[in-house]
Amino acid sequence: MFVIQLTYTGSLAEIDQLLDAHKLFLEKYYAKGIFMLSGRKQPRTGGVILAQAEDLATIEKVIAEDPFNLHGLAEYSITEFLPTMANETLRTFLKESKT
């Protein structure tokens, strides 16, 4: 699994102009089962995405498509981690996603 942290490098006005395109990007990867959770940071300086993929290269390819990235409006930090504990709902989801 991966935690992707976005930090905006552009103005919020620039971010807002691409927000609809960014949401379509997110929806695409939710539909593919790669994105699991996402949202804005508070204060609004960027966002966080929880993702699952085979490897870091896959995540990097996905991020390359983000409109915020394509327009140079965000920097990305990726942390890979191996989940060892979760609540019951997430444990069930993780078991199902491995089959």
Cβ-contact 37, 49 below 8 angstroms = yes
Residue 22 burial by Cβ neighbours in a 10 Å radius (0-12, 13-18, 19+): buried
> What pLDDT, on a 0 to 100 scale, did the predictor assign at position 12?
97
Report pLDDT for 92: 75
- Ranges in the chain, pLDDT < 70: 93-95, 97-99
What pLDDT score does 86 carry?
A: 82
Domains in the chain, ordered, with CATH? Answer: 2-97 (3.30.70.1060)
Burial classification of residue 6, based on how many CB atoms lie within 10 Å of its CB (0-12 exposed, 13-18 middle, 19 or more buried): buried
pTM of the model: 0.88
Cβ atoms within 10 A of the Cβ of 37, count?
A: 11
